[in-house]
A and B are shown apart, each in its own frame.
Chain A
Amino acid sequence: MMKIINKKSKYTLISIASVVFVIAVWYVCINVLHLKAETVFPGPLTVVKTFVQKLYTKAPDGATLPVHLFSSLKVALLGYFLGVVFGVPVGIMMAWSKWVDRFVRPLFDLIRPVPGLAWIPMFILLFGIGIISKAAVIFLSTAVACIVNSYTGIRQTKEEHLWVGDVFGATNVQKLFRIAIPTALPMIFTGLRVAMGAAWMALVAAELLAASEGLGYMIQQGRYSSKPALVFVGMLMIGIVGLVLDTALHWLEKKVAKGMNAE
């Protein structure tokens, strides 16, 4: 028993040492040996300083970090929400009804291989630079991921389970809501998480290309004004928010799945 615990703590120590080592090497290379100028590769201290400063200063891009963050989140969640509300039911209907599948799938198969962010130029021409074009890109990215996963999930329903439904005289709608959708729920949640990743990526791309606010805009401005520390802060922020959103969905999935089992 002790042996196992010791082993675990040994590896934890190695992990910590590894991170500390990388940060130390980073510090030594930049701040002691000056292998690269801080205008190209900022040292760790500069990054931390920039982060703290950016919490309340507006330079050089006209907004503080919380404002950028809020702006990004607003657009991402709006597009995401619409995409889920549209994508999940469409995926379910395509899997449940042969006729919907026959007519909708060919169109869907045409759109599917196009990465969401490739629509950005078109949407900017159609809707102008603003929240609508960005939300539209995120909507598309989200909807595609949701449709694919909901479709697969419903298709996994076992025929035997549906027969049980038939035996008890369930209507088609009852079979869909009581048997197929619960079966598909884990896949639907996978879809929600994949979609969140895609949405977040599409948003960053859109903000890099055309925006006046948001984390993507912030890192692009950091590049223009030669402040790589700001770019680092923005990237880390993008990573952390992505991780938080994914963790939140994961938590929700566990909650809902648990509720299903309890029933």
Chain B
Amino acid sequence: MNEKVKERLLSVLCAVISIGLFLGFWWWGTQRTQLGKLLPDPGTVFTAMCGYITGTVGKCSLLMHMLSSLRRVLIGFVIGSLAGVSLGLLMGRYALARAVFNPLYRVIRPIPPIAWIPISIIWLGLGEQAKIFLIILAAFANTTLNAMTGARDVDPELINAARMLGAKEGQIFRTIVIPAAVPAIFAGLQVGISSSWASVVAAEMIKAENGLGWIIQAGMDNNNMSQILAGIIMIGVGGFALTCIMRTIEGVMCRWNKSGR
């Protein structure tokens, strides 16, 4: 116990020193070198960020921008991952479904969601729809494959066990295949949420009136490095929050997979 506390203190101390040194170098660089012409010092960025949060940047405050990005991600992610997981489970369990859909899926999967931006604008215009379409794609492409592998690799002994206890195919799919695939599904959802977050930022950078992607893009257009950095920080915070939420849900859903170790 004592050792553990010591180790914890030490790593916190090291983290503080490390980040402190980083900020120190940054500050020193902006004050004493050519870098100052390009980059604001950390204090300026911090003050600017506080201003963006309490005041406005563009039409609303920084937090509202983050909320609109999050809203797009959540809508798209829910639709895309539901579709992806369902299709993946079916493809994993039934050879017929795999034969029909897998060739088409394999054409779509290697195209990064971001490469769909131009065509989605042609099809759906510059509004919300095009962005949500993009996130649906990002979530779909990443979750399908994992759900498929998860459903395909269910231990055949478990299926036999269910059969000898009287389960019919439909019951096996619902009570055995789906829960057995949950860890694999969550691995896919985890990648899917990161990819969706990156996609929303990209979509907002191309064309939007709000959102974190817009913040950094507008910052570039106005040559405002503080705004870009504030945006990047918020993008990091958002990405981190989404990953944490996914992990927490996974922890609850997959309690049986890890507990006792």
Residues of A at the B interface (CB closer than 8 Å) are: 11-12, 14-16, 18-19, 22, 40-41, 99, 102-107, 110-111, 113-122, 124-126, 197, 200-201, 204-205, 208-209, 216, 219-220, 222-223, 226, 228, 231-232, 234-236, 238-240, 242-243, 246
Contacts and interface: CB of A to CB of B under 8 A. Distances in A.
B217 A121 contact: yes
Nearest to A219: B118
Given A11-B95, A41-B123, A107-B18, A242 B104 contact: no
A99 B220 CA distance: 37
B100 interface: yes
Given A102-B14, A110-B236, A242-B110, A14 B100 contact: yes
Given A236-B111, A238-B115, A115 B38 contact: no
A125 B14 CA distance: 32
B18 A120 contact: no
Interface of B: 10-11, 14-15, 17-19, 22, 38-39, 95-96, 98-104, 107-119, 121-123, 194, 197-198, 201-202, 205-206, 212-213, 216-217, 219-220, 223, 225, 228-229, 231-232, 235-240, 243
A201 B15 CA distance: 31
Contacts of A231: 118-119, 122
B114 A205 contact: yes
Interface of B (DSSP majority class): helix
Contacts of B117: 208
Given A18-B101, A125-B38, A113 B115 contact: no
A12 B96 CA distance: 10
Closest 5 CB pairs of A and B: A115-B198, A121-B220, A102-B14, A106-B15, A113-B239
Contacts of A120: 205, 216
A15 B201 contact: no
B180 to A, nearest CB: 23
B10 A239 contact: no
Contacts of A113: 235-240, 243
B205 A107 contact: no
B18 A201 contact: no
A239 B102 contact: no
B18 A19 contact: no
